[in-house]
Structure 1
């Protein structure tokens, strides 16, 4: 249980900027809501979408690897049937893929939460599994993480009380 809590905490901290808390993922308010959100996100990234000939759509299409017609459809709120398009979009606009899935209406916030924090049947998460979940693949970092988790597990008091350093 301790490792699972640590995993969630570290994962949250890795994704957030210092001194901030991660914003909750909000569901789309339908296709038009997704199009409006995407339009605002592209404007925030510096793409000029003020008119048909402003060049912002074409510039974003070229930068993202999406076709201009796909970009136009996404801005209209027309959802693709292939989620790989949404993954490409997420990478291009620098928004976590799960957030794009929720905003596009592919997942609800509750479904996303259930996937991110599945209910376990009492099986303990191993430090190695926690490292995998956190994306810690560098051998040196992984060894430090796994050793720290093992050390904390060994030194944790059985009664739940905090031990004070001597």
Structure 2
């Protein structure tokens, strides 16, 4: 049996809001900073901070960075992935097994191995993986031109 939608939302807010506050997003003006840091609209940030709206999943990677909560945990807390997704991650960490040298698998194979059978969760998971694969990294966004001052 799954949690009721309200229970899932409350679980999400109970974890995310204290983490955001601890990360400095509770002071005056911090909602705009959170919007800037995550790409969410100021209205969405306001509703998030009031415990009214869980943001779209496209913002979870940036929200994870801002809150310090791993993106996978955000997906579970929001009800997009089953709790078992975290359990499999914890099992891997606890046994100190390494994925180094293991065969590469496709996002579809990963979804199968994680047990995502329904189309909605499979598509969310696969879309999230594809988004991460195509997202620029910190190295990609580094400006090596010397900045505006150096170019004058």
Q: TM-score, normalised by structure 2?
A: 0.47
Larger Rg: 1
